[in-house]
Amino acid sequence: MLHFSCDVCGKDLPEEAARYVVKMEAFAATNPAEITDDDLDTDHVEEMAQLLNEIENGDRPAPEELPSCSKMRFDLCLGCFRKFAKDPLSRDAATRFDFSEN
């Protein structure tokens, strides 16, 4: 028997209760690059050799490797799903901070 709980509020979701699955996929968007005359004139092999040399010597940190794609899956109860459907990026929650005037 599978056990589900809401990934937002933590409430147990019995089998007969409404359960909503939210799937998200995040990936780097790329724009098609235009090749210019300068790109064709540049010696890219020499540039790469220089970059690798700087990384090996510690003059430059190695570039951070980011995942090319991240897939996520969340189980939500009815209440959390309604909140998510109304404001998926939580923009309203971010603007509701009410700081006291100290």
User: Tens digit of pLDDT for each residue in 23-56?
Assistant: 999 988 877 778 888 878 888 888 889 888 888 8
Give the per-residue pLDDT at 83: 94
Report which of residues 68 and 9 the model is more confident about. Answer: 9
CB 55 within 8 A of CB 62: yes
Question: What does the alpha-carbon distance between residue 88 and residue 74 come to, in Å, rounded to a whole number?
Answer: 13
Give the per-residue pLDDT at 47: 87
Give the per-residue pLDDT at 34: 81
The set of residues, in sequence order, having a beta carbon less than 8 Å from that of 13 and lying 6+ positions away, is: 4, 5, 6, 19, 75, 77
Question: Average pLDDT for residues 86-98, to the nearest whole number?
Answer: 77
User: Residue 37 CA to chain centroid, in angstroms?
Assistant: 35
What is this structure's pTM?
0.57
